[in-house]
């Protein structure tokens, strides 16, 4: 009887923080999506003027959803996962890699792509800093390792 209850407890424990999982998936998708877009379509510049606003809208929606998931996880009294905070920096690092490749001259970027790249870096940096600030400063929580 104890083994069955322990197995149920472990199964429930693995899916206890779905908002962190969605946040991690979004950060990884932003990293992979930006790398794919900038490396597969160097020099892309849209013909229609309205498309220039798309990176700003995508960045705003991304940041809004990340803050929403962050606030949901911050209201719960439990140990925090550090993986979400670590993965939040991945899009920033990918953005800086792309900037360095552009500065070296390996990838030619259009004005539209430079604008989109700036949006990726600024939005993901804001999300990372907000994650660190809300989780570890505002809530006065620290990283803990669960021995169970």
Quote the CA–CA distance of 26 and 65 in Å, as a whole number.
9
Conformational region of residue 95, where left means phi above 0, alpha means psi within -120 to 50, and beta covers everything else: alpha
Q: Are 51 and 101 in contact (CB under 8 A)?
A: no
The ranges assigned to domains in the chain are 22-37+60-143
pLDDT in tens, the chain (148 residues): 445 555 555 444 554 467 778 888 999 999 999 999 998 888 888 988 898 999 999 999 999 998 888 888 766 666 656 788 888 899 999 999 999 999 999 989 999 999 999 999 999 999 999 888 877 766 665 555 555 5
Q: How many residues does the chain have?
A: 148
């Amino acid at each position: 009887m104890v083994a069955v209850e322990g197995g149920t407890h472990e199964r429930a424990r693995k899916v206890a923080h779905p908002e962190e999982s969605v946040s991690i998936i979004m950060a990884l998708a932003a990293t992979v999506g930006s790398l794919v877009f900038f490396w597969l379509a160097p020099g892309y510049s849209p013909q229609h003027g309205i498309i220039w606003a798309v990176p700003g809208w995508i960045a705003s929606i991304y940041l809004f959803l990340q803050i929403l998931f962050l606030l949901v996880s911050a209201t719960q009294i439990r140990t925090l996962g550090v993986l979400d905070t670590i993965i939040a920096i991945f899009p920033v690092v990918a953005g800086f890699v792309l900037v360095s490749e552009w500065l070296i001259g390996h990838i030619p970027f259009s004005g539209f792509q430079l604008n989109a790249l700036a949006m990726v870096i600024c939005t993901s940096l804001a999300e990372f800093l907000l994650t660190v600030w809300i989780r570890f400063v505002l809530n006065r929580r620290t990283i803990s390792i669960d021995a169970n």
